[in-house]
Amino acid sequence: MKETEIIRLQDGGSNVTGVPLDLGDIRHFSIEVDFTGDLAGTLRYYAGNKLTTLKEVSGAQQAVASGEDHLWNFCNANYRFARVDWERSSGSGTIIGRAVLKENPVIGA
């Protein structure tokens, strides 16, 4: 497994566009977003096969109240790129996002 930062630790008091994650051949991964403070807003998940045309994934947005942390778990993802954005509505605090990628073992190699 490997871990990578997709939202750098920063002030969550304004909107944040996450760093696009190049999944390559990775199909199983999780994304965790952690908060401090009392931030409220919406996390939006984007995915696609072309970095320039990522689309918001319907039903994947997460409402955040009182700085609650969030975790997505993805299995058998069939796209190359993913990104998480933060849309603040109120409060103050910090935000950080990480992805953990699980590489599939090659069987019979």
CA angle 90, 41, 6 (to 5 degrees): 120
User: What is residue 103's predicted lDDT score, i.e. its pLDDT?
Assistant: 78
Q: What pLDDT is attached to residue 58?
A: 93
In this prediction, residue 84 carries a pLDDT of 97
Per-domain boundaries in the chain: 2-102
Q: What is the pLDDT of residue 1?
A: 84
**Domain spanning 2-102, CATH class:** mainly beta
Q: pLDDT (tens digit, 0 to 9) for every residue of the chain, 109 residues total? A: 889 999 999 999 999 999 999 999 899 999 999 999 999 999 999 999 999 999 999 999 999 999 999 999 999 999 999 999 999 999 999 999 999 998 776 666 5
The span from the CA of 27 to the CA of 33, in Å, is 20
Kindly provide the b/e burial profile for residues 51-90, where b requires at least 16 CB atoms within 10 angstroms of the residue's own CB. eeebeebeeeeeebeebeeeebebeeeebbbbbbbbebee
